[in-house]
Every structure is written in structure tokens, then in C-alpha cells.
């Protein structure tokens, strides 16, 4: 039994997918900071009433940016936890 013929591509694919996810989170977080949503928008998306709190709506874009930073900067077990 040998290794898969494309096994050498797995690390590059993992890094690329992480960078794409970081880019999406950054763009989304910045867009939400520039144009904040309200509870009506969250209600239209079907978010439960318990999660449509003002403080949570305000912190959502900051959480996305923090998650992007964690994915980009952390490695090892912390990076894996951020990815999950």
C-alpha cells in the first residue's frame, strides 16, 4: 500500500480553504459594520426571537472578524477549535 497520488496537495488545499474562509468572514464582518442590520432583518431570516437581541446583533460582525483573526493567526489545537 502506498500513499494517495495527490496526498501532497492536502496541506495546500487546507491552507487555501482557510484563507478563503478568512476572506469571506472579513468581507462579511466589515460589510455588517458599515451597514448594520436590525432585528427585523434577523426575523426575516428566521432567527429565533431569543437570538434577536440588540447586543447580539451589534456584536455579530465583531465576532466574525475575531473568528477570521483566530483562523489566520492561531495554530495547533486553538486553530482547530476556531475552525470548528
pLDDT of residue 65: 95
Highest mean pLDDT among 3-7, 57-61, 74-78: 57-61
Query: CA-CA distance, 81 to 60, in Å (whole number)?
Result: 19
pLDDT surpasses 70 at 36 = yes
pLDDT surpasses 90 at 78 = no
pLDDT band at residue 9 under the 50/70/90 scheme: low
pLDDT of residue 10: 67
User: Which helix (H) or strand (E) is 36 found in, with range?
Assistant: none
DSSP secondary structure code for residue 8 in this structure:
G
The pLDDT of 53-70, averaged and rounded, is 92
Burial class for 68, CB neighbours closer than 10 Å (0-12, 13-18, 19+): buried
E strands present in 1-84: none
Query: CA-CA distance, 34 to 67, in Å (whole number)?
Result: 18
Amino acid at each position: 500500500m502506498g500513499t494517495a497520488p495527490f496526498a501532497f496537495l492536502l496541506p495546500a488545499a487546507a491552507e487555501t480553504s482557510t484563507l478563503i474562509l478568512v476572506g469571506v468572514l472579513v468581507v462579511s464582518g466589515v460589510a455588517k459594520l458599515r451597514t448594520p442590520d436590525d432585528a427585523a432583518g434577523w426575523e426575516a431570516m428566521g432567527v429565533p426571537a431569543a437570538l434577536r437581541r440588540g447586543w447580539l446583533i451589534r456584536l455579530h460582525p465583531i465576532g466574525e472578524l475575531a473568528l477570521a483573526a483566530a483562523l489566520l493567526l492561531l495554530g495547533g489545537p486553538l486553530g482547530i477549535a476556531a475552525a470548528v
